[in-house]
A and B are shown apart, each in its own frame.
Chain A
Amino acid sequence: MTGNGQHNTALRWGDSVRWFDARRRGLGMWAFALNRITGVLLMIYLLVHFVNISVLYLGETAWNQLMDLFRMPPFLIFDVALVLVLLYHGLNGIRLVILALDIGVAQQKRIFWGLMAFGTVVAVFTAFGLFRG
């Protein structure tokens, strides 16, 4: 579609790694890089989650043992981390949808910090809830 404008620079694997390199860059680039990192983490979590629920095949006892394990504090910390990742990815996603509709583009940094502040409050409440059990 760009006619003969494609004097293609060969794409290398290293280039996609640089998606995550936001050093010395602006807030938007950090948000972009974090969105990709949290996206990858969520996908890994989803795979692990599939493995976890397949423990149901091993019967009720096995499942309950696994659930007891997951209620121990180290795993609760993992849960809090998961909530943070989810909140970041979801809230930043909302920001991107808003911006894609050309709403508040000039305020994108404020929208980011506003949503992050909201996310922090939600995360603190969730953490309290999890640890109180």
Chain B
Amino acid sequence: MAWQVQFRVFRSSRGEVPAHFDPFTVEIKPDETVLDGIERIWAFQDRTLTFRHACHHASCGSCAMRVNGVEKLSCVTYIQDVTSDGGTLVVEPLRNFPIVSDLVVDVSPMFHRMHEVGMPIIRSAEPLGKPENFNCFENCIECGMCVSACPVMLTSNQYLGPAALAAAQRTIAEPRGVDVRSIWQLADDENSVWRCHTAFECGEVCPSNGDPAGAIMALRRRLILERIKSLFGRGILARQRGG
């Protein structure tokens, strides 16, 4: 019934160099999740293990980590989908974030950027059903998995990144009271919309079926049109240059 799975967990204490992997053998059912396994390691094998988690239902985004090299939201990643009985799971923290310890990363760089873009988390203007207008949280759960998966982020820490750019596109498309002029400026930058190299990995790993790459391409089109307009002294970019 229960499988035996070896978790090879990335370990590092603040300041410890080099980091290493610790093996833990876990009895786990195939329909349990990777986070169940990690939590059980903490509860019964190693109390020093640190990891992020909160909601356990793919809404808070904190339990994002890399499982066998690929970003997964561990609370909804079933064991049977990533390994087999007697198999191994390599569990590592997200890439492209400073590591705090073990599986914990400091997500504040992404939140700085999300804050600048200022996407409201409530989709209020959008009717979700009839006959009444309902509101709903945005699909993006700010887990940082797209940032970790993006190959461009590996080598450019100036890049705004897929999460913030997708949010910029959302805010421009549906401002909900946010002043979007600064967001246009933020988007039209060499380290912003134009830096994306279209590897589409952000959308591949997105746990909410988001499409950051598609959003970036949509922003590109908007910006190209605005730039053409600005040649004739029109559009939002022209007004900005005029002060």
Contacts and interface: CB of A to CB of B under 8 A. Distances in A.
A–B contact, 8 Å CB criterion (strictly below)? yes
Interface of A: 1-9, 11, 15-16, 18-19, 23-29, 31-33, 96, 99-102, 105-106, 108
Contacts of B113: 2, 5
6 contacts: A1-B191, A5-B109, A7-B112, A8-B157, A25-B204, A99-B217
Interface residues on B, range: 35 or more
A28 B213 CA distance: 10
B200 A26 contact: yes
Interface of B: 68-70, 96-98, 106, 108-109, 112-113, 116, 149, 151, 154-155, 157-158, 160, 186, 189, 191-192, 197-201, 203-204, 211, 213-214, 217-218, 220-221, 224
A105 B69 contact: no
Given A2-B160, A5-B113, A9-B96, A19 B155 contact: yes
Contact of B198 (A2, A9, A18, A99): A99
Nearest to A100: B220
A11 B157 CA distance: 8
A100 B196 CA distance: 9
Contacts of B186: 1
A18 B155 CA distance: 9
A10 to B, nearest CB: 9
Contacts of B211: 105-106
A7 B198 contact: no
Contacts of A96: 198
Interface centre among A5, A6, A24 (most CB of B within 10 A): A5
A32 B151 contact: yes
Interface centre among B69, B192, B200 (most CB of A within 10 A): B200
